[in-house]
């Protein structure tokens, strides 16, 4: 039997937390809630150093004290744990900024609990489904699926789970244009919807990390209105 997954919710809405804790428990997901960013950061740092770390964080942007975006910045300095941001409905700027800062996905409030569970399970599933030791190489990019490690010219790329999935998808389809629909299904575990800029933002982050290791800015080629292709370096 698969072990219960441990989730950390950082949100000051006690009613929401209680509802989610009860609902997610039926999906083999154990939720702990912390109602402010400072304590959330401390909790995550302490637990990740032990053998009882969290598998995923659900992080609200609107928090007392430091904002969820500031919390996200701190977490991403040294931790690639999957993070789903909760944003106010209609706040597109916050969603894009959250993705740029390293969130794996987002949900606008109010949301359907079934949708949240589906997003959580999709992220956790893709994090665990590379059980083989297959290695892929395309140009200067090397990917080892078992330990989810990506290298460019021998230098490790510090990628989020979503960025790793996108790079893997592009590498598997070496040189071919991959549609946003396919990338969304494989990297986010959900269908692509018009006007959703998530994939574009994740690709932008990926380009920046590759460029920091000396890659050309056009290594990931964009075919307007269609998708992306990885060019051989």
User: pLDDT tens-digit profile of 173-186?
Assistant: 988 999 999 999 99
d(CA 57, CA 35): 13
d(CA 143, CA 210): 13
d(CA 185, CA 75): 26
For 8, the enclosing helix (H) or strand (E) is strand 5-10
The whole-number pLDDT of residue 127 equals 72
Angle among Cα 95, 115, 14 to the nearest 5 degrees reads: 75
Distances (CA, A) of 233 to 16, 174, 202: 48, 11, 20
Residue 2: pLDDT over 90: no
| Shared domain check, 102 and 25 | yes
- As beta bridge partners, residue 57 has 8, 83
Q: 1-15, 34-48, 203-217 — which one is most confidently predicted on average? A: 203-217
Rounded to an integer, the average pLDDT of 226-233 is 89
pLDDT tier at 49 (50, 70, 90 boundaries)?
A: low
Kindly list the strands in the beta sheet with 83-88, ordered across the sheet, starting from the edge strand earlier in the chain: 29-34, 5-10, 56-60, 83-88, 105-109
Q: Which domain holds residue 91?
A: 5-128
d(CA 17, CA 35): 9
Rounded to an integer, the average pLDDT of 93-113 is 93
The whole-number pLDDT of residue 134 equals 77
The whole-number pLDDT of residue 133 equals 56
Rounded to an integer, the average pLDDT of 92-114 is 93
CATH number at residue 119: 3.40.50.2300
Averaged pLDDT score across all residues of the chain: 90
pTM: 0.88
From 108, 128, 148, the end of a domain falls on 128
| Shared domain check, 186 and 170 | yes
pLDDT tier at 23 (50, 70, 90 boundaries)?
A: very high
Which residue from 106, 57, 96 is spatially nearest to 80, judged by alpha carbons? 57
| Shared domain check, 58 and 25 | yes
CB 145 within 8 A of CB 124: no
| Shared domain check, 141 and 33 | no
pLDDT tier at 132 (50, 70, 90 boundaries)?
A: low
| Shared domain check, 153 and 113 | no
């Amino acid at each position: 039997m698969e072990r219960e997954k441990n989730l950390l919710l950082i949100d000051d809405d006690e009613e929401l937390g209680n509802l989610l804790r009860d609902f997610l428990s039926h999906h083999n997901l154990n939720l702990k809630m912390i109602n402010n960013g400072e304590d959330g950061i401390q909790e995550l740092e302490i637990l990740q150093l032990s053998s009882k770390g969290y598998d995923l964080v659900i992080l609200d942007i609107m928090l007392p004290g430091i904002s969820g975006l500031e919390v996200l910045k701190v977490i991403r300095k040294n931790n690639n744990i999957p993070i789903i941001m909760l944003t106010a409905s209609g706040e597109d700027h916050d969603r894009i900024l959250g993705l740029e800062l390293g969130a794996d996905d987002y949900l606008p409030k109010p949301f359907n609990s079934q949708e949240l569970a589906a997003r959580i399970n999709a992220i956790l599933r893709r994090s665990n489904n590379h059980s083989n030791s297959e290695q892929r190489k395309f140009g200067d990019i090397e990917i080892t699926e078992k330990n989810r490690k990506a290298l460019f010219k021998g230098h490790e790329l510090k990628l989020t789970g979503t960025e790793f999935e996108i790079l893997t998808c592009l590498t598997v389809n070496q040189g071919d244009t991959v549609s946003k629909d396919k990338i969304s299904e494989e990297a986010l575990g959900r269908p692509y919807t018009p006007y959703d800029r998530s994939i574009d933002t994740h690709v932008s982050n990926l380009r920046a990390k590759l460029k920091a290791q000396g890659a050309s800015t056009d290594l990931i080629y964009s075919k307007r209105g269609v998708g992306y292709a990885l060019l051989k370096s």
